[in-house]
Amino acid sequence: MKQAWGKLQGSRFYEAKTLQELCHVQAQPSMHLHSEEKEQIRRRLMEAAPHSALALHFGGRLQQQSGTAAISVDVTADERTLFRHMDCERIGAYSDMLFHQVIFSSSTHCKIRKFERGDLTEAEQQFYAANVAVTAAQAAQICADTRSQESTKWQRVRKIRITGSICHAYYTFVPRDDRTWDQKVSAMLGYSFRGNAATRYGKESEDHALKEYTDRTGNAVVRLGVVVNPLVPWLGYSPDGISFRDGRPPILLEVKSPVLGKSQKAAELARAKKLPYIKQDGENFELNRRNSYFSQVQLGMFLLNLDVTHFVIYSKVKSLILTVHRCNTHIDQLVRKLQFVYFQHVLPELAKRAQLE
């Protein structure tokens, strides 16, 4: 083809230019949206077209084939909102491996490299794929099937995951060596707490506490089973309830019912320092950040993608409701440590036990 604009003068080559540098190309301003803005835009699109591919993908295709059996879940409107809310960038960032391992090539040389899923043994990968990894529909099925907490399935689903009630024990554990880790994991997997008078009272009081919360705040309370987020299915959480009101962002509920609350106000117990998980700051009370309950509710807010927890201390005389805000720094440290614990120590033990059965 003949050159339309004449011959090139001289022997120089053309200097490459990007498209943005060409005079006839309009430069487009760069646009950056925060994750909250992206989530809001996505939510509005899904509300406008609830049956679109986008809404079905993020809300979970609740009629999904798994082998030959269809998964069908009777999910309420509030639960659908919650499931959609659980899929976001700040959770997905932890679906990749975030820890490193030290590999010794000799007694004097070693290298540090990022741990990859391919570093898992075949048995570990098979166990994870068959028992731990879930789709959005399977996660919804688990949540529906375990609403009556303490059921056999509730216990089985929790057993293969790090849950809110044990996460702090793993988070704060400092081992002497790998053998100490093995002992810790074996003890945690074999631990079966059947309850005592205090926990039985707590269970008996939970319904009263949630009813009182609804009467006091006007918020509707939804009871859920085990929450498993498909982005990080190796974690699990059993919330005492989720609070909904007037389309506002949901609130996580955690209820504690101390036996002393039968005859004393919750605030009086806190002032008398009879509740080790509560700290007093002047006239105000707050959840002790060093207590296991703080890690517990932070993990719950992480998995459910929530920003606020109402921590209810139930008393037959007068209850106390504390507002606990999401702490991203604590969540980042917690989830990174738990990821290391699960894939380096818990999953290998689970896979080993499965092979022996």
**CA 38 to each of CA 85, 113, 118, 180, 244: distance values in angstroms, whole numbers, following the listed order:** 12, 33, 32, 44, 22
List phi, psi (to 5°) of 345: -130, -45
**The amino acid at 356:** L
Q: Report the distance separating Cα 311 and Cα 306, nearest Å.
A: 14
Q: Report the distance separating Cα 345 and Cα 158, nearest Å.
A: 17
Pick the closest to residue 149 from 202, 200, 199, 203 (CA basis).
Answer: 203
**CA 35 to each of CA 38, 90, 104, 281: distance values in angstroms, whole numbers, following the listed order:** 5, 8, 40, 33
Q: In b/e form, how buried is each residue of 36-50, taking b as 16+ CB within 10 angstroms?
A: eeebeebeeebeeee
70 CB-near residues (< 8 Å, 6+ apart): 63, 64
**Where do the domains of the chain lie, and which CATH numbers do they carry?**
65-89+119-357 (3.90.320.10)
Handedness of CA 341, 345, 350, 351 (dihedral sign): positive
Residues in the chain: 357
Handedness of CA 212, 216, 220, 225 (dihedral sign): negative
Helices (H), the chain: 35-48, 53-59, 77-85, 89-92, 122-127, 136-145, 152-159, 167-171, 178-190, 197-217, 266-271, 292-304, 328-341, 347-356
* Structure-derived torsion over alpha carbons of residues 213, 150, 75, 126, reported in degrees to the nearest 10: 140
Q: Kindly give the parts of the chain with pLDDT less than 70.
A: 1-17, 19-40, 42-44, 46-76, 102-112, 191-195
At residue 323, the pLDDT reads: 97
**CA 301 to each of CA 163, 171, 245: distance values in angstroms, whole numbers, following the listed order:** 13, 17, 17
**CA 90 to each of CA 214, 233, 329: distance values in angstroms, whole numbers, following the listed order:** 30, 15, 12
CA–chain centroid gap for 323, Å, is 19
At residue 114, the pLDDT reads: 80
pTM comes to 0.77
- Beta strand 251-256 with 308-313 is parallel
